Amino acid sequence: MNVLSPRRPLLQLTFLLPSCTLPIHCTPHRYDSSARRTTKRLRPKQDKAAIPSHREARDHIVFNPPSSAPSPYHTPLIFLPPNDPRRRLLAQAHAHANPYQDPERRLPPPVRKPYEKSYNLDEAQIAELRRLRAEDPFKWTRAKLAEKFGCSEFFVGMAAQATKERTDWSKQLLENTKARWGRRRSNAREDRTKRREVWARDE
């Protein structure tokens, strides 16, 4: 009995091998068509009531609240009839929302003691303030001068500016403080400076 050998090797006859021995190539592919269908399904559909009609000759207001229980707090007065009881409920809600609208009610206590600005410095006092500031800026700081003359520190800064020695000392103190900062704080301060520059450019 003669046994005929196959002309091709057995490994090339893939249909005779079990499925577990075959190489599996699973490479996901995403085409424009599938992405378009997915985006279309995820896009919410706009309600027809919110779309302005082309038959209207001029613009108009479209009031389309979300699906929820009716509430007088969410319905504007312009959409309520004159005899609607919700108008009374809405007026009561506004009265409770601002209890200090009644002049007979007492206001809460102030956060700080009220005071009035005083402009009591004459030319002689301003000259004395400038002399003290120029004589010893380390002793006569803005806080001490404001306490002595009874004015604000902002006014002291406008009337008598610090000397160059005091300004250089403040800058050097700031540089020494920055030298002790870590990488995280340095990056945070740099980002803050960049944000301020962007704000100045209105971007």
User: If DSSP codes are grouped into helix, strand and coil, which group holds residue 90?
Assistant: helix
DSSP 108: P
Q: What is the pTM of this model?
A: 0.39
The answer, yes or no, to whether residue 195 has pLDDT greater than 80, is yes
| Amino acid 112: pLDDT | 83
CA distance 77 to 43: 33
- Assigned token pair, 17: 């091998």
Q: Where are the alpha helices (DSSP H) in the chain?
A: 32-42, 86-97, 123-135, 142-149, 153-159, 164-179, 183-200
CA 166, 168, 173: angle at the middle one, nearest 5? 95
CA distance 174 to 180: 10
Four-residue CA torsion sign, 26, 27, 32, 36: positive
C-beta separation of 162 from 133 below 8 A: yes
More confident residue, 101 or 178: 178
User: If DSSP codes are grouped into helix, strand and coil, which group holds residue 133?
Assistant: helix
| Amino acid 2: pLDDT | 53
Tens of pLDDT, residues 146-174: 888 888 888 888 888 888 888 889 899 98
Tens of pLDDT, residues 120-143: 788 898 899 899 988 888 888 889
Tens of pLDDT, residues 16-73: 555 555 455 555 555 556 777 777 777 777 766 666 666 666 666 766 767 776 665 6
